[in-house]
């Protein structure tokens, strides 16, 4: 069957139109991303701005035209971090419903994590016994999902992401040492909270998904252009990744904008995202006693999981589903902890 999956996050809105086969595998028809920065200012104001909604609705209109053109059988619109707690959420939901004729689902972080794991698991060939940690590093939240190729065992969502941390900590261009230290401190606080409810020390393989991770991977691979086929499935050692993280964190926005692998919508937030990713990998190397020495980048993520969930609801082979899900509370910011 042909399905349309839409993932509306804090930084971007993405569309996947795909054919889902009887074995649950997904074949792309259309895969697009539009940076709309829906969550711009939400951490401070608690609501979507008029400009952010205008940008988002324009992208939804474009996606609606593509969906009609490709004659899909089912549509699912999933909204994540930025849409969970805003005061004017109804305005966003009404606008999407009016344009697409479907009810947007503002899902919990735990479900977001499970869908991301299902998407990654659908395309990577893993040893069924190995413990895999999928990290979905988004604009407003980061999900940690631990399991095997048989399915999810633990799924946790945290309120840290590249947009949120740019606005909260890394506003200077380039960021100051104090700003990066505060962002690192808060990231470690979140990771300590995650470790209290999730056995991160069992991790054997780390897979990162979403734009921050794949952009860092493209930089680490020294690509002359953003090439998804080369990025997808690339296993990169931590030393090489950290070299790229350091360059992305400390470069000016003008320098980042000149990088051929850089999407314009990531120029101002990739520094915070790269810092979070590097800190996560260091922490995992530590808690696994050095077992984690590399990370795999995946171009397939929550979009594929959404597509598979649609097909499953129509009787196609099921995707992996969470068997144990939790939410981790917000970690205090570095400033709050220091006070």
The answer to whether position 310 is within a domain reads: no
Q: What are phi and psi of 154, to 5 degrees?
A: -140, 140
State the pLDDT at residue 319.
39
In the chain, the number of structural domains is 2
State the pLDDT at residue 101.
93
Same domain, 251 and 221: yes
**Residue 62 above 80 pLDDT?**
yes
Same domain, 168 and 23: no
The answer to whether position 264 is within a domain reads: yes
Same domain, 104 and 182: no
Q: What is the pLDDT of residues 261-312, one digit of tens each?
A: 999 989 999 999 999 999 999 999 999 999 999 999 998 888 988 998 887 7
- Please state the pTM of the whole predicted model: 0.78
Please report which helix (H) or strand (E) contains residue 220, including its range. Answer: helix 211-220
Same domain, 92 and 159: no
Separation of alpha carbons 162 and 160, rounded Å = 7
Same domain, 136 and 275: yes
154, two tokens: 């633990």
Query: Which SS3 state, helix, strand or coil, does residue 232 take?
Result: coil
Cα dihedral sign for 297, 169, 159, 199?
Answer: positive
Same domain, 212 and 65: no
**Which of 51, 77, 108 corresponds to the end of one domain?**
108
**Residue 318 above 60 pLDDT?**
no
- CATH number of the domain encompassing residue 184: 3.30.420.150
**Which of 56, 89, 108 corresponds to the end of one domain?**
108
**Residue 255 above 80 pLDDT?**
yes
The answer to whether position 156 is within a domain reads: yes
Q: What is the pLDDT of residues 71-114, one digit of tens each?
A: 999 999 999 766 777 889 899 999 999 999 999 998 887 787 78
* Mean pLDDT over each residue of the chain, to the nearest integer: 86
Separation of alpha carbons 66 and 10, rounded Å = 22
Range of the domain at 103: 2-108
Same domain, 169 and 51: no
Across residues 251-257, what is the average pLDDT? 96
State the pLDDT at residue 127.
59
State the pLDDT at residue 125.
66
State the pLDDT at residue 58.
97
pLDDT band at 129 (very low <50, low <70, confident <90, very high): low
Across residues 116-134, what is the average pLDDT? 75
**Residue 169 above 90 pLDDT?**
yes
Same domain, 120 and 239: yes
The answer to whether position 221 is within a domain reads: yes
State the pLDDT at residue 332.
36
The answer to whether position 248 is within a domain reads: yes
Same domain, 173 and 219: yes
Same domain, 34 and 63: yes
More confident call, 127 vs 14 = 14
296, two tokens: 């795999």
The answer to whether position 317 is within a domain reads: no
Same domain, 167 and 258: yes
Same domain, 136 and 198: yes
The answer to whether position 319 is within a domain reads: no
- CATH number of the domain encompassing residue 24: 3.30.420.40
Alpha-helical regions (H) of 82-123:
89-100, 109-121
Q: What are phi and psi of 69, to 5 degrees?
A: -65, -35
The answer to whether position 313 is within a domain reads: no
| Selection from 305, 266, 270, 272 nearest residue 36 by Cα | 266
**Which of 59, 76, 108 corresponds to the end of one domain?**
108
Q: What is the pLDDT of residues 188-224, one digit of tens each?
A: 999 999 999 999 999 999 999 989 999 999 999 999 9
């Amino acid at each position: 069957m042909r399905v349309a999956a839409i993932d509306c996050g804090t930084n971007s809105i993405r569309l996947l139109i795909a054919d889902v086969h009887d074995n649950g595998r997904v074949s792309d028809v259309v895969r697009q991303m539009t940076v709309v920065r829906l969550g711009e200012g939400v951490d401070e104001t608690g609501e979507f701005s008029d400009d952010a909604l205008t940008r988002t609705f324009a992208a939804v209109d474009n996606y609606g035209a593509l969906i009609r053109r490709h004659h899909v059988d089912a549509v699912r619109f999933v909204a994540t971090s930025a849409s969970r707690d805003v005061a004017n959420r109804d305005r966003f939901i009404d606008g999407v419903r009016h344009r697409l004729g479907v009810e947007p689902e503002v899902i919990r972080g735990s479900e977001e994590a499970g869908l991301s794991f299902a998407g990654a698991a659908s395309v990577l060939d893993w040893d069924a016994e190995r413990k895999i940690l999928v990290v979905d590093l988004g604009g407003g939240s980061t999900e940690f999902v631990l399991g095997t190729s048989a399915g999810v065992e633990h799924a946790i969502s945290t309120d840290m992401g590249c947009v949120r941390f740019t606005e909260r900590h890394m506003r200077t261009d380039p960021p100051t040492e104090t700003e990066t230290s505060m962002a690192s401190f808060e990231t470690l606080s979140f990771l300590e909270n995650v470790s209290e409810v999730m056995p991160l020390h069992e991790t054997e393989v780390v897979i990162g998904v979403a734009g921050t991770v794949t952009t860092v991977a493209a930089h680490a691979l020294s690509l002359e252009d953003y090439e998804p086929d080369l990025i997808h499935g690339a296993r990169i050692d931590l030393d090489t990744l950290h070299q790229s993280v350091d360059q992305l964190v400390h470069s000016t926005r003008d320098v980042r904008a000149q990088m051929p692998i850089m999407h314009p919508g990531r120029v101002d937030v990739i520094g915070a995202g790269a810092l979070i990713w590097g800190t996560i990998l260091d922490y995992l190397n530590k808690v696994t006693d050095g077992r984690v020495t590399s990370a795999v980048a995946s171009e397939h993520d929550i979009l594929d999981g959404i597509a598979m969930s649609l097909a499953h609801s129509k009787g196609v082979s099921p995707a992996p589903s969470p068997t144990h899900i939790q939410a981790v509370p917000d970690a205090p910011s570095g400033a709050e902890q220091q006070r």
